[in-house]
Structure 1
Amino acid sequence: MTDPILFTLAVLTLLGTPGPTNTLLATSGATVGVQQSARLLVGELAGYLIAVGAIRIVLGPVIHSYPLVGIALKAAVVLYLVWTAIKLWRRNAGLTHSQAGIGMQAVFVTTLLNPKALIFSLSIIPSNGPGIGWYVLGFALLVPLVGFAWILVGRAIGAAAGDKHAGAVRKVASVALVGFAGVIAASVLG
């Protein structure tokens, strides 16, 4: 996709679509607020950049040649999302730097395994050309922008729910993660 406007719209649309990373960002915004959650954007950006690079250089050609590798990767993503959902349901045990917050490691790994990275890598970010660096830079600027918007949405939900309902917010997020895992699992099963 070499048209800058279409590229920007495609990136914003895909990043804005609810998914596992956005669920964690919104949950963090709801439970610990904007200021503590903003640091998670580093994990999101790093996860996407590493995933997109790895897919373009290594995984894309391997998946194209050996489709079972793609299926195995999707299965790994499903297992990770279910594991993260269980941890989130149990008050974020093992995923936090504080009692209620989402850890940067959870955001990084979830983003690294996010199926959206495949779409960015193989369909949206141009595969070659003299301006590819500008597209990667644009992508790198849009990721934290949209991620921050999800944190703000989460904060608004948290404010509406009240602090005494933070556990319910995490449980809803946990169910959403299982739902995303189910969608990915269904794509594996055909």
Structure 2
Amino acid sequence: MTETLGFMAAVIGLLITPGPTNTLLAASGSQRGMRASVSLIPAELAGYLLAIALWGSVLGSLGERWEWLSVTLRIASALYIAYLALRMWRSATDLEVAARVVVSHSGLFLATLLNPKALLFAAAIFPQSAFRGPVEFVLPALLFSLLLIPIAALWIAFGTAVAGGRLRWLSPFVIQRGAALVLAGFSLSLGWSTLH
């Protein structure tokens, strides 16, 4: 029971912190509203579960033999997040571009798949026994899923509240530019920590 509560607290703590996926969810909420953006949650969940399973079962053992593999994947993640930041920054000033740069299911899935949080979940939060086989992975994955859904909805609701004027000091432009800066910060942080 204590292990389960510790797992839940760690998952909530990491999921609720701002990051690339949460930034994209909030941006979608501000652009498209709650109802349209909620459909992104399964893409986030699929991205996380796939990345956690890969990190935990395959890359854990391969990373010990081939150190360059982990470094390469972290650099690829940093570059992709930088690309998302640039797109979001540009979309804040050009409404025509903003209409085309709506957060898509595939875009959110890929951003989540490359999100460095997945590595932390696999290496430090999920029990190592979860990666022994599919049956062992089911319970932690189910609990993770039940925690992710309301947290993702909260990030979307935040973006929706901003766009709806309930947080008047924030505008969609500020959200887009702020989201771009957060993504750029994550990209730089990940790149710096990987190379040093």
TM-score interval (norm. to shorter): 0.7 to 0.9
Task: State the TM-score, normalizing by the size of structure 1.
Answer: 0.88
List gaps (5 residues or longer) in structure 2: none
Structure with higher helix content: 2
Alignment size in residue pairs: 187
2:174 corresponds in structure 1 to 168
Kindly state the Cα deviation for residue 70 of structure 1 after the two structures are TM-superposed.
Answer: 1.2
- Match of 1:103, as an amino acid? S
Residue 191 (structure 2) aligned to one of 178, 185, 188: 185
Distance 2:141 2:61 in 1: 20
Task: State the TM-score, normalizing by the size of structure 2.
Answer: 0.85
2:154 corresponds in structure 1 to 149
Distance 1:132 1:52 in 2: 10
Alignment of 1:101-180 (within 5 A): 101-128=102-129, 132-160=137-165, 165-180=171-186
2:24 corresponds in structure 1 to 24
Name which of structure 1's ranges 134-143 and 106-115 shifts more when overlaid on structure 2.
134-143
Kindly state the Cα deviation for residue 42 of structure 1 after the two structures are TM-superposed.
Answer: 1.0
List gaps (5 residues or longer) in structure 1: none
Question: Could you tell me whether the CA contact under 8 Å between 1:33 and 1:155 is conserved in 2?
Answer: yes
Kindly state the Cα deviation for residue 168 of structure 1 after the two structures are TM-superposed.
Answer: 3.4
Distance 2:175 2:12 in 1: 25
- Identity within the alignment, %: 35
Kindly state the Cα deviation for residue 56 of structure 1 after the two structures are TM-superposed.
Answer: 1.6
1:132-165 CA-to-partner distances (Å, cap 9, x unmatched) read: 5322210121122211111112222223367x94
